[in-house]
Amino acid sequence: MGAARIKVLGLRVPVPLTPGQKFFGSFFQKRIFLLPFLALIFFWLLHESALPAYVWFTRIPDGVAKPQPFVDLRAVLQAGACWRAGVDVYVPSACLGGGVFNYAPFMLRLMVMPVAATAACGVLMALGFIVSLSWLPRPRTRAEAWVMTAAMLSTTVYYGIEQGNLDVLMFIMAAGGVRLVLAGRRLPGFGVFGLAAACKFYPAALLVLALRSSRRRLTAMAVCGVVLLALYLAIYGPGVADAIRILPSGTPFRATFGRIDLARGLNLLHLLTARRVDGWVGPVFTSGAEVASVASWLMGLAAMLAAGLRRGAARKTLAGLDPARHAYLVAGAAVTVLCFFAAQNVYYRAMFLVFTIPGLARRRALLAAELLLLWEAVPRAATGGWLGFWLLREALWWWVIVELGAMVLAFVTAEVTRLRLDGAARKM
């Protein structure tokens, strides 16, 4: 980055940069991942010296004032303490203040730190998240640096860290696992993915990267995966069923995203209702919730069909990427798409969109949509939950999911074709 370029009579002419411009550009491209660390220090100082201002910031993502950080992490550590005391944490109890533990039972075995260590564990998790950001591909231009900065400092990321939610830990593990796979250390990399999936289920989407392996290695990993899954379910099956049964689900108008949100919101607005039709042979819906559920799955099917039609554009996007950008884009897309279709998700889980940012430099409209979704808490709070913005948000989510789904499908079909051709070549 020794010179900028300006147009003179239609030609691009190099213009030397000043020392200040060189330093500015170098900082943003090489040291960009220090910025979240500075943000962490800022909010710590704000909490210690200007608590009302800190609380004002905490209201932005979900409208709830939180004088103390890491409330989700505190609840999880409390659940671990209750479980060690013999309490059934999957049913409401006084030990959990009437709440329940809605994570996998395997997670309880890992929650060994006392509740008093919440702040220390939260800070360590935040620092680990900042370190994991440095594993993502570095920006190649100043414009990419600004976009990555906006993604890293978004309200989505802030919300997850401020809550101390374990999705932050899943992000760290996912970033580290992808880095290991890229370095050729596949066994530990996929081991990290498996450990993350044992904790929170959805990181299983990262195992799609196993398709990059050879047929022999993929077969071995598949056999090991089936054996480990069977062992996991044999040990933790009942607890897994309990955790899935009590997965939280709330209003679609606040800090959430997912397949169900648009249909559920339209139902709550009485724009999507069930009406009995005389002579109709088919299912009779007894509630608007059933209508919303069926409608959301139909929309999901339509979205995946649209994703299939967009595979050509997705293939072009993936073809021009280096291995790191390619892997992180596929990983982030796979996790986001799975979470979107599987359940209603709290807003901070959208942080996995950050994985996709480095690989979308040539898809400016999609990049802009993702940045808006990463920052959507600000206009949502500023407009007081205006219906028009909610509809825009939902439309953007469905479009982004179609595009990311197309990239996952393009990746899967390309790798399956490669594996098939490799098998045919070996038989010849």
pLDDT category of residue 350 using cuts at 50, 70 and 90: very high
pLDDT for 125-165, tens place per residue?
999 999 999 999 999 888 999 999 999 999 999 999 999 99
211 residue type, one letter: L
Both structure tokens of 195: 């450990």
The 3 state secondary structure assigned to the chain is CCEEEEEECCEEEEEECCHHHHHHHHHHHHCHHHHHHHHHHHHHHHHHHCHHHHHHHHHHHHCCCCCCCCHHHHHHHHHHHHHHCCCCCCCCCHHHCCCCCCCCHHHHHHCCCCHHHHHHHHHHHHHHHHHHHCCCCCCCCHHHHHHHHHHHCCHHHHHHHHHCCHHHHHHHHHHHHHHHHHCCCHHHHHHHHHHHHHHHCHHHHHHHHHHHCCHHHHHHHHHHHHHHHHHHHHHHHHHHHHHHHCCCCCCCCCCEECHHHHHHHHHHCCCCCCCCCCCCCCCCCCCHHHHHHHHHHHHHHHHHHHHHHCHHHHHHHHHCCCHHHHHHHHHHHHHHHHHHHHCCEEHHHHHHHHHHHHHHCCCHHHHHHHHHHHCCHHHHHHCCCCHHHHHHHHHHHHHHHHHHHHHHHHHHHHHHHHHHHHHHHHHC
pLDDT of the residue at 260:
93
Q: Does residue 201 register a pLDDT over 70?
A: yes
pLDDT for 272-321, tens place per residue?
765 554 555 444 445 677 888 899 999 999 999 999 999 999 999 999 89
pLDDT for 246-266, tens place per residue?
777 788 998 999 999 999 999
Q: With beta carbons less than 8 A apart as the criterion, state whether 142 and 365 touch.
A: no
Q: With beta carbons less than 8 A apart as the criterion, state whether 410 and 311 touch.
A: yes
User: Domain locations in the chain?
Assistant: 34-275+284-427
Between CA 94 and CA 101, with CA 95 as vertex, the angle to 5 degrees is: 105
d(C-alpha 186, C-alpha 207), whole Å:
11
Work out the number of other CB atoms within 10 angstroms of the CB of residue 39.
17
pLDDT of the residue at 1:
42
The candidate with the shortest Cα–Cα distance to 91, out of 415, 417, 83, is 83
272 residue type, one letter: L
